[in-house]
Structure 1
Amino acid sequence: MFGVPVSSAVLTNPLPGLRPFSQSVECSRFVLLPECPGNSESWFLARCFRALLSDGVRGVVSFADPVPRQTASGVLVMPGHVGTIYAAYAGADMSVIA
């Protein structure tokens, strides 16, 4: 889901040359089901970026969550994310800040 962040500074600080909300947006959520095949994230995200480009968006800000999460019993349920799927597209035709 791409959308409007809480503050326009989320967009204007890393992408000062782009108009917030029209040329730059935030990737608010990115979720695929676990049963999706390998590389589905990159495949789907590439198509999303192409659609955004055709609508005039030139920059996307995304926040990865690097903090591992554990259940109360100590089982690791989320090993942490570093934003690799977003960084793969940086410098193409769109600025991607992850």
Structure 2
Amino acid sequence: MEPIKQWDIELELVKTKTGALLYKINVADNHFFLEQNPLKDSKYGVAYRKLKEKYPEFYMFWEIKNNRYTGRLLTGTFLEKEDIDRFITDVLQSEEYKQFEDVKEEIEKQ
């Protein structure tokens, strides 16, 4: 692989006024992603709690740029190989992807 662009990113663990511990990804001055607060009784707070119960290593981050919420969301999860199919099936609501070959060399080629 050949690097095309590089970012210096800082990861912080922050504590909210209500005591929630959240991750904050600092991308640049006045540009960061803040983890969804799972303690909030809001649409996404409740959804995040439920997702974290099923996938503890799933993360949702809201983008804040120039002190404004952008409406963009960064999501990701860390999974063991044996959990990947269950996660993909849950997200796609389909197992159609399973008809294709699992090529381990894909990652090595990239």
When the two structures are superposed, what TM-score results if normalisation uses the length of structure 1? 0.24
| Bigger strand share | 2
